[in-house]
Amino acid sequence: MMQIKCNCEVGHHEIPVKTIEVSEHAIEKVADILKEYKRIFFVTDENCYKVAGKRVEELLSEAGILSHTLVLPSPALPNAENIGKVLIEAGRDREVYDINAFSYNPDYILGVGGGSINDTCRIVSYRLGLEYGIVGTAPSMDGYASVVAPLLNGKAKIVYTCSIARHIIIDLNVNAEAPMPLLLSGLGDMMGKYVALLDWEISHYLNNEYYCGTVRDMVMDATNAVVEAGPKLGDRDIETIRRVSEGLILSGECMAYTGTSRPASGTEHMIGQTWEVFDVKEGKVPNLHGIEVGEGTYAAIELFRKFYRESDDEPVKKIVEPYLPLFDKLEELQKIVQLPFTVTDKKRFVDAIIAGRTFRVRYTLLQYLYDHGKLEEYADAVYDTVMEKYFYRTFKEQFPDWE
Ligand SMILES: [Zn+2]
Ligand SMILES: [Zn+2]
C-alpha cells in the first residue's frame, strides 16, 4: 500500500500498489519481488520477450513460481483479439478432467512490455480478479500505474476501468535501449503535465472543482526534473531515462491517488487524443500517444499565450502567469529534442482543437474559449505559430520504418 498525506479535503490518499522498483538491472530482482505468489501467468510479446521477457521467465522458473508463458505476436495491440487470447490462455486444464471443476487458474498475471501489454494484462486482471504487475520495457506513456485502459474494440477506442498494477518494475538498462520513438513518446507525455496542472488550477478556481495541491506539486516537481534532463534523452542517458520513467509512473500514481486524471491530462491530451480518435475512425493504427500529446502540448501552450496576451480576465491570467516561464522552457527543449509531429495538415490540426473540447467531460482552456465565443478563432490562429516555431519534421520522415 502506498500513501501520501496532504492538505486537500481528502487529507490522505492511498493506492494498493506494493512495489515500484526503478533501477539499473531491476529485472534481476523480479523473483524476489514476486515471491508471495506461486503460479504466475507470464504475458509478453515477441519483441519484449527478446529484450527482457526471456530473462524474467528464467528467473520465475528458477524460483518455482512460473505457471506458464504466453508470447503474443509483435506488435501486440490492446485489441479484443489479444485480450481474448490472454483470457483463453490464462487458465490451465487439470491433468484429469473433472466435470465439476473449472480450469486451474494462476494466482498472478505478470506482463513484460510497454503500454499495450500493460493495458491487455490489466483488463484481464480486473475481469478475473487476479492481481497483476508489469515489467516495463519502455518509458513511453504514463499508463503503468493507471487505473484505466484505452482498448481497441472493433473500430472504437474505449477507455475501460481496470485494476492498478501491484508491482511496477523498470529496468533502466532495458528502458534506455528502447526504440527512440518510444523514448520520445514518454517525454512528450511528460511535457504535457504543465498544461494539465494549469487547466486543473483554472477549473478549481472557476468551478470549485476538487483539487489537491500536494499532488499538483508532486507532478510539477517530476515534470521539472524531466524537462531539465530532456536534452540528454537522445543520448539514452540513464539519469534522463530514470527521470522520465519515474515521472510517468508518478503521474499514473497521482491519478490513482486523486481518482481523476486531472494531474496528468488537460487541453494537450484532449487535442492529442482527438487525433488518435480520427485515426481509429479511419481504420488506421493510431500514432504513439506521447508523440501526439507532445504536439498537442505545443498547441496548448500557444493557446494559453494568446489568451494571456489578449484577455482582460485578470484572475485567470494570474493563474496562467507562473506557467509562462515553464512554457518558455518547453519551447527551448523543442529546439534541442525536435520532437517529430504527426499532424501537419491545417484542417486536421484545427478540427482537433475544436472537437477536442468535448473529447471528454472536462473543463479546460478549450471550454473557456468556447464559452467566450473564441475557440474557432484561436484554433485557426495558433496553427501557423505552432508550425513556424516547433515543427522540424514529421514522424514518418524521421522514423520511416515505424509501424
Ligand atoms: Zn490530497
Ligand atoms: Zn498521456
**pLDDT tens for residues 232-245?**
999 999 999 999 99
Closest ligand relative to 185 C-alpha: 2
pLDDT of residue 286: 84
pLDDT tens-digit series, residues 158-190: 889 898 999 999 999 999 999 999 999 999 999
Closest ligand relative to 254 C-alpha: 1
How far away, in angstroms, is 171 Cα from ligand 1 center? 30
Closest ligand relative to 252 C-alpha: 2
pLDDT tens-digit series, residues 293-341: 999 999 999 999 999 999 999 999 999 999 999 999 999 999 999 999 9
How far away, in angstroms, is 221 Cα from ligand 2 center? 17
Name residue 353's amino acid: I
Task: At 376, list the grid cell.
Answer: 474557432
How far away, in angstroms, is 89 Cα from ligand 2 center? 30
How far away, in angstroms, is 222 Cα from ligand 1 center? 17
User: Quick one: residue 373, left, alpha or beta (phi over 0 = left, psi -120 to 50 = alpha)?
Assistant: left
Per the CB < 8 A criterion, the answer to whether 200 and 211 are in contact is yes
Contacts of 337 by beta carbon, 8 Å cutoff, 6+ apart: 184, 187, 230, 231, 233, 234
How far away, in angstroms, is 294 Cα from ligand 2 center? 9
How far away, in angstroms, is 306 Cα from ligand 2 center? 24
How far away, in angstroms, is 252 Cα from ligand 1 center? 15
Q: Which of 93-107, 126-140, 175-189, 318-332 has the lowest mean pLDDT?
A: 93-107
How far away, in angstroms, is 254 Cα from ligand 1 center? 10
How far away, in angstroms, is 4 Cα from ligand 2 center? 22
Q: Which of 113-117, 130-134, 221-225, 281-285 has the lowest mean pLDDT?
A: 281-285
pLDDT of residue 178: 96
pLDDT of residue 107: 97
How far away, in angstroms, is 71 Cα from ligand 2 center? 26
How far away, in angstroms, is 185 Cα from ligand 2 center? 9
pLDDT of residue 94: 85
Across residues 108-135, what is the average pLDDT?
96
Contacts of 147 by beta carbon, 8 Å cutoff, 6+ apart: 161, 162, 163, 164, 255, 256
β-pairing, 132-136 with 108-113?
Answer: parallel
How far away, in angstroms, is 37 Cα from ligand 2 center? 31
Closest ligand relative to 7 C-alpha: 1
pLDDT of residue 367: 98
Q: How far is CA 173 from CA 39, 74, 398, in A?
A: 27, 21, 24
Residue 133 has pLDDT above 80, yes or no: yes
Per the CB < 8 A criterion, the answer to whether 263 and 230 are in contact is no
Per the CB < 8 A criterion, the answer to whether 168 and 145 are in contact is yes
Q: Give the DSSP letter string of 127-190.
A: HHT--EEEEES----S-TT-SEEEEEETTEEEEEE-PPPSEEEEEHHHHHTS-HHHHHHHHHHH
Per the CB < 8 A criterion, the answer to whether 251 and 219 are in contact is yes
314 burial (CB, 10 Å; 0-12 / 13-18 / 19+) is exposed
Nearest to 249 by CA among 339, 186, 337: 186
Closest ligand relative to 217 C-alpha: 1
Q: Please state, rounded to an integer, the average pLDDT across all residues of the chain.
A: 95
Q: Which of 16-25, 198-207, 281-290 has the lowest mean pLDDT?
A: 281-290
How far away, in angstroms, is 272 Cα from ligand 2 center? 9
Residue 390 has pLDDT above 80, yes or no: yes
CA distance 215 to 154: 36
CA distance 102 to 267: 47
Could you tell me which residue, 281 or 60, shows the higher pLDDT? Answer: 60
Q: How far apart are the first and last CA of the chain?
A: 38
Closest ligand relative to 262 C-alpha: 2
CB environment 134-166: b (16+ within 10 A), e (fewer): bbbbbbbbbbbbbbbbbbbeeeebeebebbbbb
pLDDT of residue 360: 82
CA distance 127 to 108: 13
How far away, in angstroms, is 256 Cα from ligand 2 center? 14
pLDDT of residue 168: 97
What confidence tier does 218 reach under pLDDT thresholds 50, 70, 90?
very high
CA distance 246 to 261: 17
Closest ligand relative to 276 C-alpha: 2
Q: How far is CA 62 from CA 28, 46, 110, 132, 159, in A?
A: 12, 21, 16, 20, 37
Residue 355 has pLDDT above 90, yes or no: yes
Nearest to 19 by CA among 171, 172, 168, 242: 168
pLDDT of residue 249: 96
pLDDT tens-digit series, residues 15-70: 999 999 999 999 999 999 999 999 999 999 999 999 999 999 999 999 999 999 99
Give strand ranges (E) for 185-234.
Answer: none
pLDDT of residue 152: 87
Across residues 181-210, what is the average pLDDT?
98
How far away, in angstroms, is 92 Cα from ligand 2 center? 35
Q: Which of 76-90, 140-154, 363-377 has the lowest mean pLDDT?
A: 140-154
The predicted model scores a pTM of: 0.94
CB atoms within 10 A of CB 325: 8
How far away, in angstroms, is 98 Cα from ligand 2 center? 46
How far away, in angstroms, is 324 Cα from ligand 1 center? 25
Closest ligand relative to 270 C-alpha: 2
CA distance 269 to 90: 34
How far away, in angstroms, is 264 Cα from ligand 1 center? 15
Per the CB < 8 A criterion, the answer to whether 267 and 356 are in contact is yes
Residue positions counted in the chain: 403
CA torsion through residues 260, 262, 264, 269, sign: positive
Residue 216 has pLDDT above 90, yes or no: yes
The radius of gyration of the chain's CA atoms, rounded to the nearest angstrom, is: 21
CA distance 2 to 17: 6
DSSP 8-state secondary structure symbol assigned to residue 285: P
